[in-house]
Amino acid sequence: SCLLRLHKNVPRHEPSSSQVTRSMERGAPPPGGMGSSTLDRPLSLIGFEYLHISPEKVTGRLEITERCCQPWDVMHGGVSAMVAEGTASMGAYVSSGFARVAGAQLSINHLRPASLGDSLLAEASPLHAGRTIQVWEVKLWKVGSSDPGNRTLMSASKVTLVCGRHRQGDNNAYEQVVKRFAKL
């Protein structure tokens, strides 16, 4: 899955677990800001930003840049898949009580193209939130710049996740970052 696991040996430009924890103890946002690599490294590389995280819904936004596009200035389908798995994984992580999750299956229907400069809204919600298996639906909407209420469905995905897997390493700092962002 696309969940970030904070390691002791992180690259210099990423905050360490202790930096995140100290920052939170002072009441400051984690280094890098919310919606950045603190929450999800792969999605941060394409500019994705989380807006809301809860067990019932995860939302985020993405501005389509050249980094997201094929040579024809159309968003690559793999970007939609990465956003779908990332948002569903985040929702399952919170919904499962912060147990480790792993993507097991992803299906996606690309309904309309997104082009360079478009703004997208991602909405993920659980169809089934069991202890071991969760299934999330993720919709990507193209939103109008002048009227955010004017939106067009771009893709629809279903993501199946296995929850409660054995944790590797210390994920407590990451759990605290997500809890703070989700206001849990």
Residues involved in catalysis: 85
SS (H, E, C) the chain: CCCCCCCCCCCCCCCCHHHHHHHHHCCCCCCCCCCCCCCCHHHHHCCCEEEEECCCCEEEEEECCHHHECCCCEECHHHHHHHHHHHHHHHHHHHCCCCEEEEEEEEEEECCCCECCCEEEEEEEEEEECCCEEEEEEEEEEECCCCCCCEEEEEEEEEEEEEEECCCCCCHHHHHHHHHHHCC
